[in-house]
Amino acid sequence: MPDTPSQHTSYFEVRDAFGRGSCPLCNLAVTAADRYLKRLVADSVTDPDTRLDFAAAHGLCNPHAWQLVDGGSASSIAILYRSLLNDALRALEAGEAARNEGSGLGWLWRGLTAQTAAPAAARELSPSRTCPACRARDERAAMMAGVLLDHLADADLSDAYRTSDGLCLPHLRLVLGRTPNADARTRLVALQRDVWRRLDGELAELIRKFDYRFAHEPVGTEADAWLRAVAALAAARDYGVPL
């Protein structure tokens, strides 16, 4: 089938991602988060806009912070996180100074009860933005969900979907929530149903072979069905913060 003008690079990215195992939107979105982390340590340590965004989020969420550690530069991470640590120290010290001093906002801090002062201090230490790696990931997933819907009737894409692991449950919810009409919804549900029915059959076969009576039988493609079932319901292992 000849390419149409609408089959731009993103279309081929989505189509090809169906062949990599696991949910294609998980694959594409995790790649976007990976790219963000690589840029963060390579180019953005001294970039003012990136530093401001990073500071407003108080750095990265737990999974992405440790992913940065695993693949990042110690010197870049030291610079980034020293800045965050200094911001946290300033917030603590400013609040304490205002509470104790007679000038500035001291009267306000002294007027707060112990019950309200602690939440106010906690707010000072709370981020005003979400983890930037999570945002890069989720924005990519949302964009590619739109691409998938735009081309759901394409034969090549449908075939790739049907023979893949399909969408994980969180990304299926995302795509269903954007489905523009009943026809697109029907196509999407039919494709995903085929995928999950095949996985169910593999799980049933794997469970059967766990029975001692059939344990001597060789295990085939169903061997990792239990892992694929977890990914199908909970998203990819390395996705980060749950959807």
User: What confidence tens digit (pLDDT) does each residue in 174-227 have?
Assistant: 999 999 899 999 999 999 999 999 999 999 999 988 888 878 888 888 889 999
Domain range for 114: 31-132
Q: Is residue 105 part of a domain?
A: yes
- At 8, the pLDDT band (50, 70, 90 cuts) reads confident
Q: How far apart are CA 228 and CA 67, in angstroms?
A: 22
Assess if residue 93 is contained within a domain.
Answer: yes
H or E segment and range at residue 55? helix 48-56
Token reading at 167: 């969408």
**Torsion sign across C-alpha atoms 113, 114, 119, 121:** positive
Please give the model's pTM, rounded to 2 decimal places.
0.80
Q: Is residue 158 part of a domain?
A: no
pLDDT score of 107 = 43
Residue 49 CB contacts under 8 Å (≥ 6 apart), including other chains: none
> Considering its fold, how many domains does the chain have in total?
1
Residue 125 lies in a domain: yes
Residue 114 within a domain: yes
For residues 91-100, average pLDDT: 65
Rounded to whole angstroms, the Cα distance separating 179 from 157 reads: 16
Q: Is residue 67 domain-resident?
A: yes
